[in-house]
């Protein structure tokens, strides 16, 4: 659903699968481990805020990323690699450090 929402919102298929797909895994694990969406909401807000501050949201942030045309492909590869590393680190961290919240129904 998260991938489809990003495609409908105008993201490319590659960005939707790699970006939103890995993000959905991280946010899903965070929700399942904690039993609520508070951590997922905070992680999503922090990620979007950081992206805005770094100028990745249509270059409207505090900083502006500039990559020359000659280095555009290398910049894209580095960007995807960094994103994948950060998401995998987040997935590993949440899955290992957050204890699962067991919910028992009392009758």
Structural domain spans, the chain:
2-97
Residue 102, pLDDT score: 62
For the chain, the maximum distance between any two Cα atoms, rounded to a whole number of angstroms, is 66
pLDDT band at 106 (very low <50, low <70, confident <90, very high): low
For 20-72, the pLDDT digits (tens) are: 899 999 999 999 999 899 999 999 999 988 888 887 777 677 877 778 889 98
Place of tokens 């000659």: 70
3-state secondary structure 24-74: HHHHHHHHHHHCCCHHHHHHHHHHHHHHHHCCCCCCCCCCCCCCCHHHHHH
């Amino acid at each position: 659903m998260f991938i489809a929402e990003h495609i409908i919102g105008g993201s490319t298929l590659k960005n939707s699968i790699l970006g939103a797909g890995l993000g959905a895994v991280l946010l899903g694990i965070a929700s399942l481990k904690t039993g609520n969406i508070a951590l997922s909401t905070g992680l999503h807000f922090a990620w979007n805020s950081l992206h805005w501050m770094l100028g990745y949201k249509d270059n409207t942030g505090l900083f502006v990323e500039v990559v020359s045309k000659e280095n555009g492909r290398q910049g894209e590869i580095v960007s995807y690699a960094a994103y994948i590393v950060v998401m995998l680190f987040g997935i590993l961290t949440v899955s290992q450090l957050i204890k699962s919240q067991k919910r028992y129904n009392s009758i």
